[in-house]
């Protein structure tokens, strides 16, 4: 299994309403992509100083499933309609999850 994590810093003009609309669009998108085993999204709680404004954590079975998720038309549509214009900075990482090691 693979854990895909993406974090975002927003441009200054992004509003709370923009973030709420993005969150709804991502939630709706996830329901259309069956390769997602787990999907957690949302604004950073900012419990510690610094960090990104928003995060996405997706678990998929393998690299092919990751490609299917990232290349899915619904994912591309959310990027085009919401996410793309909002991003000032983006970072992503993919981590292996060993069987039985997900806690």
Model pTM score: 0.90
CATH number 3.20.20.190 is the correct assignment for the domain at 2-96: no
Our CA dihedral for 23, 28, 34, 36, rounded to 10 degrees, sits at 10
Q: What is the pLDDT of residues 54-77, one digit of tens each?
A: 999 999 999 999 999 999 999 999
Q: Where are the beta strands (DSSP E) in 1-103?
A: 2-10, 38-43, 54-60, 87-96
Domain ranges within the chain, ordered by starting residue:
2-96
Q: Which pLDDT score, from 0 to 100, does residue 102 have?
A: 59
Instruction: Give the per-residue pLDDT at 73.
Output: 97
**Within the chain, which residues score under 70 in pLDDT?**
100-103
CA-based radius of gyration for the chain: 14
């Amino acid at each position: 299994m693979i854990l895909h994590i993406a974090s975002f810093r927003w441009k200054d003009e992004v509003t709370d309403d923009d973030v709420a609309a993005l969150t709804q669009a991502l939630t709706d998108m996830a329901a259309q992509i069956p390769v997602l085993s787990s999907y957690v999204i949302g604004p950073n709680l900012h419990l510690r100083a610094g960090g990104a404004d928003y995060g996405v954590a997706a678990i998929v079975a393998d690299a092919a499933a990751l490609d299917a998720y990232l290349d899915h038309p619904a994912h591309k549509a959310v990027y085009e309609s919401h996410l793309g214009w909002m991003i000032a900075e983006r970072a992503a990482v993919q981590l292996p999850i060993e069987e039985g090691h997900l806690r």
